[in-house]
Amino acid sequence: MHPILKLVAQRVALGCLLLFAASVLIFAGTTILPGDVAQQILGQAATPENLANLRAELGLNDPPLTRYFSWLGGVMQGDLGTALTNGRDIAESLGDRLSNTLFLAFWAALISVPLAIFLGLLAVRYKDRWPDKLISGVTLTTISIPEFMIGYILIYWISIRFGWFSSVAIINDSMSLGQKLNAIAIPVMVLTLVVLAHMMRMTRAAILNVMQSAYIETAELKGMPMLKIIRKHAFPNAIAPIVNVVMINLAYLVVGVVVVEVVFAYPGMGQYLVDHVAKRDIPVVQACGLIFAAVYIGLNLVADIVSILANPRLRHPK
Amino acid sequence: MNDQLKYYSDRVTKGLMTRREFVGRAAALGVTAAVANSMLATAAKAAGPVKGGTIRMGIQGGESTNSLDPALAASAVPTVNLRNFGDCLVNVAPDGSIENRLAESIEASADAKTWNFKIRKGVEFHNGKSLTPDDVMRTMERHSNEDATSGALGIMQGIESMAVDGDNFQVTLSTPNADLPYLLADYHLQIQPDGGFDDPASGIGTGAYMIEVDEPGVRHLFKKNPNYWDDSIGHADEIEVLALNDTTARTAALQSGQVHIIDRVEPKIAQLLDRAPNVNVKSVSGPGHYVFIMHCNTAPFDNADLRMALKLAINREEMVDKILRGYGTTGNDFPINKAYPLFDDTIPQRTYDAALAAEHYKKSGHDGSPIILQVADGAFPGAVDAAALFQQSAQAAGIPLEIKREPNDGYWSEIWNVQPFCASYWSGRPVQDQMYSTAYLSTADWNDTRFFNDEFDALLNSAKAELDNTKRKEIYSQMANILRDEGGLICPMFNDSVEGVASNVGGWIEDPNLTIMNCMAGIKCWLDA
């Protein structure tokens, strides 16, 4: 078997095991939080009677182990169950939210990844001169400001003062692609500003590291133009660390953007998960947890495979 | 000059003169353009509701866990949704009286134990089924039977039996209650086909709007119900309710014109927002109040002198100034204010008195160890700051308070109604009886101050059966005094509801019951063309 296929098979098997472990942890964690779903639904309107009735209706009187295994049994058969709080089919509501999250992450990645790598290359080209310092300064500033703050500043200027884009990023199926893009324009800007610095700095560092090598010096002595050296000789050899950091940031764009979702009222997975954690709706929290874990595991796998493919020594082992 | 201007503005409203022409003529009469424009707006409003358009509301308190089941509504967005698609038997009108909705008329027996609601005819549910008194009875059953999971279960407990007689729905109570219609005006009690037993979350009601899109925690879209029985409400073609839980997002959406109405404007930005163009801030004082509650049966709060010391050690004016920024009034340690019918305004206002507080504290014989006050941001807006102010003013009276900050998450299940001294809020009730029965009767489920007072209970029961308002007012006044002096409630302030409304919204009225016009802003307002 080809070593890469073997690696993928191993990783997928390990991933399944990790997902199982994650589901146990999430279940245990949500169970030990104070209060249960019945109490959270009724809130200040709870009386002993309606609490008891709701608990019986939701099956909360079964022991936790029974509930966990009946959930696991369902998942094995591809049934994520229904939400305890509003009785909706989880797969269906989650599907909508997940596609929204991926929509936002896709556009943010489409802009931020090429931009970050380009700025990284540019910074190497003009190392220690003003463009390098400007790029580093600006991106480090935007990553250091909390993302909700960047969001508020952009809303104030772009949406309220100039009226260019919408401040509420609620999207739905009846909107055209143009309307959707208008709605998510400011969140995409915020996310881009937040993830730019990490990828840009890593690109810069990885390429500078390679630039110390003797073969770069040779290329320089041959009289090759600087940008061409970077593109043809330095970048391919620096690709492994860059891909790793890009994947971490892509994972962040999928699973870590709850603050941005709240600021722009974006109907993504983060807000959906937080609402259900607050209500102790365990089946939904489990389902979201599994998806988030799968995203991390999957993107890490991609990063590893790309690193191997980029390295001839790993690609053709003896 | 005024007659002349009025004549012109009428002509504009009737479409006989253009706006530009009007401003020009007004200028000729020596009136600035700004004044002329505002005169036009007033004239347009006086001309009556404008039909059509989509009213968009940005509301705090919508979660992806929400359901359209009326029994489970607990936050603002689900409540607004219920008002849009459903009707109650009766509503509480802005002036505190009872307005008949699906009940056409109400009769009570002389002892206030048997009630007869004549059900309106010719009303259709959204699925085409006609409303019958059976639907009403089944609805009430679903909220009160022994399997009920309804948030309204607590207020339905006094019902002994229910029956249908021809066009009438009859209720017999186990104890007399002159305020029964106010209880049945609770927003959970939307009438559903067959009481909602088949499909509680179907969103089918008799209301002015029909649900089109239901995305919990995101948005809800409603379309006008063409067969609605009451022409006086439901002016817009559509209502869109957006769940905007973040305060800044809500404010920005209003300022950038993406929504027309928002709730819960933070007092500290209210004045700034009011100055923004095309936006008005509306505030209305109501029965909602912020409280610190002590369990009267738990040491050290079982000591009447200690309770009094703490009540005297809180600076109410300062709280209204700094926490509410003036959008509210001082409380007087009982849960009633002038928003309630039969309120006795002669009861003296308790004020901050460090010396007297110190005296009571000494008399209580407390050992001087810190008294722990549990508080979370979610207890009420500004709760942590209010607790810090309380700590300062108590310190000046020599009373050591220690603030223990709790997470918002789980606060209502782990701290409130469990721990002996914590911060909380009440949104108030339409009548005094309901407020007292909900939280201060010895047997109440939500007796969150653990107040057990036989005299108080007896007075409350006698007031329930009393149909003479002068006598009832007197009884309520006695009860207020008992609670004020002996209860475990420290009520420093009644908060106004502060809302933001775009200037093209017509029909806005002050309604003290629930926020945004008793959650009926969508169905009652219109958009000026």
Each residue of B306-315: pLDDT tens digit?
A: 999 999 999 9
Partner residue facing B249 (CB), from A163, A264, A275: A264
B423–chain A Cβ distance below 8 A for any pair: no
Q: Which residues pair with B56 in a beta bridge?
A: B240
A33-42, A240-249, B451-460 — which one is most confidently predicted on average? Answer: B451-460
Mean pLDDT across B79-89: 96
Percent of chain A with pLDDT over 90: 39
A to B CB pairs, distance under 8 Å: 141
Contact A86 B253 (CB under 8 A): no
Query: B431 is written with which tokens?
Result: 């009548």
Nearest CA of chain A to the CA of B243: how many Å? Answer: 7
Mean pLDDT of B373-379: 91
Residue A124 has pLDDT above 60, yes or no: yes
Tens digit of each residue's pLDDT (9 = 90 or more) over A279-295:
888 889 889 988 999 99
The confidence score (pLDDT) of residue B22 equals 62
Confidence of residue A185 (pLDDT cuts 50, 70, 90): very high
What is the spatial distance between Cα B35 and Cα B527, in angstroms, rounded to a whole number? Answer: 21
Asked if B316 and B330 count as a contact pair (C-beta separation under 8 A), the reply is: yes
pLDDT bucket at B4, cuts 50 / 70 / 90: low
pLDDT, tens only, B156-194: 878 899 999 999 999 999 988 888 999 999 999 999 999
Position B24 scores a pLDDT of 65
- Cα A136 from chain centroid? 23
Q: Does B478 touch chain A (CB under 8 A)?
A: no
Q: Residue B73's pLDDT is what?
A: 87
Tell me how crowded residue B485 is: count the other CB atoms within 10 A of its CB: 14
DSSP-assigned states of every residue in B367-390: --PPEEEEE-GGGSTTHHHHHHHH
Predicted pLDDT at A312: 80
Q: Give contacts of B445 with chain A, Cβ < 8 Å.
A: 46-48
Half-sphere exposure of B181 (CA within 13 A, CB side): 24
Domain ranges of chain A: 100-271
Looking at chain A, which residue has its C-alpha nearest residue B148?
A50
Tokens at B519, concatenated: 């959650």
The three-state secondary structure class of B155 is helix
Please tell me which residue of chain A has the smallest CA distance to B255.
A160
Q: Which residues pair with B215 in a beta bridge?
A: B219
Measured in residues, chain B has a length of: 529
Cβ of B77 under 8 Å from any chain A Cβ?
no
Nearest to B109 by CA among B33, B180, B20: B180
What are the tens digits of pLDDT across the range A28-72? Answer: 888 887 778 887 777 666 777 888 888 888 888 888 888 888 888
User: Mapping DSSP to helix (H, G, I), strand (E, B) and coil, where does residue A159 land?
Assistant: helix
* Overall average pLDDT of the A92-113 stretch: 93
Closest partner residue to B64 among A33, A44, A276, by Cβ? A276
Output the six-digit token pair for B160.
Answer: 């002994």
| Residue in B253, B414, B416 nearest the CB of A34 | B414
Minimum mean pLDDT among A234-243, B14-23, B236-245, B502-511: which range? B14-23
Q: How confident is the model at residue B2 (pLDDT cuts 50, 70, 90)?
A: low
A271: nearest CB among B152, B217, B248: B217
Distance of CA B528 to the CA centre of its chain: 27
| Second CATH level (architecture) for the domain A100-271 | Orthogonal Bundle (1.10)
Q: Give the residue from A37, A53, A82, A167 with the most B CB atoms within 10 Å of its CB, the best one to mutate.
A: A167
- 0.90 surpassed by pTM: no
Q: Are B295 and B487 in contact (CB under 8 A)?
A: no
| Higher pLDDT among residues B355 and B446, named by residue | B355
φ and ψ at residue B270, rounded to 5 degrees = -60, -45
Burial B42-71 (b: 16+ CB within 10 A, else e): ebbbeeebbeebebbbbbbbbbbbbbbbbb
Within 10 angstroms of residue A76's Cβ, the number of other Cβ atoms is 8
* Nearest beta carbon to residue A83 from set B65, B146, B219: B65
Helix axes B304-312, B469-486, angle to 10 degrees: 100
Cβ pair B391, B435 in contact under 8 A: no
As a whole number, the mean pLDDT across chain A is 88
Cα gap B185→A263, rounded to integer Å: 35
Task: Sort out which chain A residues have CB atoms less than 8 A from B260's CB and list them.
Answer: none
Percent of chain B with pLDDT over 90: 69
Determine, for residues A42 and B409 on separate chains, whether the beta-carbon distance falls below 8 Å.
Answer: no
Say if residue B11's pLDDT is above 70. no
Cβ contacts (< 8 Å) between B215 and chain A: which residues? 96, 172, 267
| SS3 state of residue B224 | strand
Do the Cβ atoms of A305 and A4 come closer than 8 Å?
A: yes
Q: pLDDT tens for residues A64-95?
A: 888 888 888 888 888 888 888 888 888 888 99
Indicate the residue of A42, A155, A172 with minimum beta-carbon distance to B74.
A42
Cα angle B144-B451-B333, degrees, rounded to a multiple of 5? 105
Q: What's the rounded Cα separation, in Å, for the pair B408 and A109? A: 34
Average the pLDDT over B327-347 and give the result: 93
Q: What pLDDT was estimated at residue A201?
A: 93
Task: Establish if B325 touches chain A: CB-CB under 8 angstroms.
Answer: no
Burial of B165 (0-12, 13-18, 19+ CB in 10 A): exposed
Per mean pLDDT, which range of A20-34, A249-263, B6-20, B91-105 is the poorest?
A: B6-20
Angle separating helix axes A177-211 and A90-125, nearest 10 degrees: 40
Residues 133-192 of B with CB under 8 A from A: 146-154
Name the minimum distance, in Å, from the CA of A158 to any CA of chain B: 10
Q: What is the pLDDT of residue A231?
A: 84
Assess whether pLDDT exceeds 50 at residue B1: no
Task: Say what the pLDDT of residue B72 is.
Answer: 87
For residues A159-180, give the mean pLDDT. Answer: 90
Quick one: pLDDT at residue B33?
57
Partners of A85 on chain B (C-beta within 8 Å) are 65-67
pLDDT at residue B351 greater than cutoff 90: yes
CA dist A80 and A89 (Å) reads 8
Q: Chain A contact for B66, CB < 8 A?
A: yes
pLDDT of residue A314: 75
If DSSP codes are grouped into helix, strand and coil, which group holds residue B134? helix
What was the pLDDT predicted at A63?
85
Q: Sort out which chain A residues have CB atoms less than 8 A from B63's CB and list them.
A: 275, 278-279
When pLDDT is averaged across residues A148-162 and rounded to a whole number, the result is 92
What pLDDT shows up at residue B204?
96
Structure tokens at A301: 């796998």
What mean pLDDT comes out for the span B205-233?
Answer: 95
